[in-house]
Amino acid sequence: MNNLDQAAINEKVFSTDDILEFLWVLLTIPNPVNDIRLSEKYRGDEAFQKITDYLLDLRELSNALSRGDLEKLVYSKGYILSNLKALQSNLRHMTWQTEKIAEGDFSQKIDFLGKFSESFNKMTEELQNFSERLTTQATVDQLTQLPNRHFLMPFLSKCFERFLRDREDFTVMIVDIDHFKKVNDRYGHDAGDKVLADLSRLLNAKFRSSDVFTRYGGEEFLAVLINTNIEAAKIVAERVRKAAGDTPIYLSDDVSISITVISVGISQTESSDLHFDSIIKRSDTALYTAKSNGRNQVVAM
């Protein structure tokens, strides 16, 4: 029967004796059957028509699934079609989950497709890990392992939103290593990098876990002190300045240097501020004043 010619099938009148052949044809031939003629006995048989409709719906739905069409509707009911409809529903849901993953939601997991679910979930976990590594690389300064500007700006934006909404003050502190060029000129750039890395760890330890200490550029660092007024920030700034001067940095077992000159500028949120840039500019101006006044000091504005 697998070798039946399509045209011959369409011309054939199926009798009682070969009705099973007719059903077999519906299940196995590759193209839809439109013109098959039945013997008189079966043309108006309701039960036989239900079987025929069921098999035609089965053909339609299975064909749609094989082509990736997940929107095909069929109205017959029954065990096999119910299984296919469940598969269709699961695939639709998985398509939605895949779209969410593409948007960055890596929490999506599936558990309804056996071994495929395991592979899908493993893929999602790998994508999440890869995304986290990319985010870390993009927002962390590779030399000092401090957050960089890519992290700082969105963070400041959120802090400023809280300030506008809840009047939760914060302070911006800019720290600069004075005469850092002399370190590079005397000891070389590798030594300068070590000074930056070691000093970053030293200074970062002087802030609270809720504060953010970042590499702002070159030998400049910027700290955001959450829920902190300018008087409290001055105390932290003096602690930072003193820690730098009191702690030698070893370039080798027998060579160490002390960074004894650090200038710090700080500024607090003000009611007239329209953007966090205003706070940074005041802190930067305070830093410039500290340098102009002889360096190694804290200036607040």
Q: Buried b / exposed e across 93-126, counting CB within 10 Å, b at 16+?
A: ebeebeeebeeeebebebeeeeeeeeebeeebee
Beta 298-300 vs 170-177: how paired, if at all?
A: unpaired
Q: Is 219 a catalytic residue?
A: yes
d(CA 285, CA 277): 12
Segments in the chain forming alpha helices (H): 6-11, 19-28, 40-43, 46-66, 79-102, 115-139, 149-166, 180-187, 189-204, 230-246, 276-292
Q: Which of 11, 103, 161, 219 is catalytic?
A: 219
Q: Which two tokens stand for residue 15?
A: 């009798």
Name, in order, each residue with C-beta under 8 angstroms of 234's C-beta and a sequence gap of 6 or more.
266, 298, 300
Q: Are 268 and 169 in contact (CB under 8 A)?
A: yes
Beta 37-38 vs 13-14: how paired, if at all?
A: parallel
Give, in degrees to the nearest 5, the angle at Cα 229 between 228 and 231. Answer: 120
Q: Catalytic positions, please?
A: 219
